[in-house]
Amino acid sequence: MSEADCLFCRIVAKEIPADVVHETERTLAFRDIDPQAPTHVLVIPKDHYRDAAALAAADHGLADEVIKAAHAVAEQEGIAGSGYRLVFNTGPQAGQTVFHVHGHVLGGRGLTWPPG
Ligand code: 5GP
Ligand code: ZN
């Protein structure tokens, strides 16, 4: 399940290179091209869902796998203990620019709250 013009589907298909840091049968994690923190990794399901709501509605455990993969990335990056933020921008006003659901794993520095 992919969309020909979707950037992250093209990364899954290896048509566009990415710095992959973690992979499972149904998930992929790669470094953000414009990192906002010392660790900034994007975790996606390999199948295409436009946002977190669509992923959760699919109701087959895939959202669970994505969150587990995000935590595995945090452990691998050495930030699971110090803390990290897992962000799913959902919709234009939240700043979502790529409409293939992705969790941002951010950490390695103190993160402020509230977000901008
Ligand atoms: P959003 O704004 O949709 O929550 O996040 C999209 C993220 O994808 C941004 O942080 C942006 O830097 C990242 N991004 C955009 N294009 C590419 C790309 O070609 N490769 C990688 N690795 N990240 C990308
Ligand atoms: Zn896609």
Residue 93: predicted pLDDT:
95
Of 60, 21, 17, the closest CA to residue 44 belongs to: 21
Closest ligand (CA of 41): 1
> Among this protein's residues, is 102 annotated catalytic?
yes
Label residues 5-14 b or e (16+ Cβ within 10 Å = b).
Answer: ebebbbbbee
The residue to which tokens 């110090």 are assigned: 82
Residue 4: predicted pLDDT:
84
Average pLDDT per consecutive 10 residues, the chain (116 residues; last block may be shorter): 90 98 98 98 98 92 97 98 98 96 98 94
Residue 47: predicted pLDDT:
96
Distance CA(16)–CA(113), nearest Å, equals 34
Residue 116: predicted pLDDT:
85
Residue 76 beta carbon below 6 angstroms from any ligand 1 atom: no
